[in-house]
């Protein structure tokens, strides 16, 4: 889903596109979307997150789980905060979770992906139901 906006940043129109078609639609047009800019931004974000997480000293308690909150604010950038016990409880909010994922989401992914061997087209089952490539 692509949102078209005014120079002030107000979204004025939404239009669905097949992801695979977007690069061809904008190729060679001045000022158009450039996938390399997006990929570079994604690479820099993931590298930054990896550096932050790896800079954290290892706990003597190997079972201790560290939870981070990552926020992106347009115009300000990315912030990463290590959560204390109260912050983790706020995230969990009484929900059953598998890692950071709500249990209901995990169960639906597992249901959509199993059993791969019994599916007529195993490649098609690698993407959960309802997701389209």
Tokens of 87: 């912050």
Domain boundaries, the chain: 34-55+64-88, 95-133
Better pLDDT: 65 or 120: 65
pLDDT tens digits for range 76-104: 888 898 888 888 777 777 778 776 677 88
* Confidence band, pLDDT 50/70/90 cuts, at residue 111: confident
Angstrom distance (rounded) from CA 112 to CA 24:
31
118 token code pair: 């019994």
Cα 112 to Cα 22, 78, 125, distances in angstroms: 28, 33, 7
Question: pTM score, two decimals?
Answer: 0.52
Please report, for residues 33, 34, 71, 76, the alpha-carbon distance to residue 30 in angstroms, rounded to integers and kept in the order given: 9, 10, 31, 27
């Amino acid at each position: 889903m692509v949102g078209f906006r005014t120079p002030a940043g107000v979204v004025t129109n939404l239009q669905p596109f097949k992801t695979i078609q977007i690069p061809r639609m904008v190729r060679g047009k001045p000022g158009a979307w450039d996938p390399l800019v997006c990929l570079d931004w994604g690479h820099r974000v993931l590298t930054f997150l990896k550096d932050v997480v790896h800079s954290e000293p290892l706990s003597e308690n190997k079972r201790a789980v560290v939870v981070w909150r990552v926020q992106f604010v347009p115009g300000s950038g990315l912030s990463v905060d290590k959560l204390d016990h109260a912050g983790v409880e706020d995230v969990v909010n009484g929900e059953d979770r598998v890692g950071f994922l709500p249990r209901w989401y995990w169960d639906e992914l597992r249901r959509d992906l199993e059993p791969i061997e019994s599916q007529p087209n195993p490649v098609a089952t690698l993407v959960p139901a309802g997701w389209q490539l």
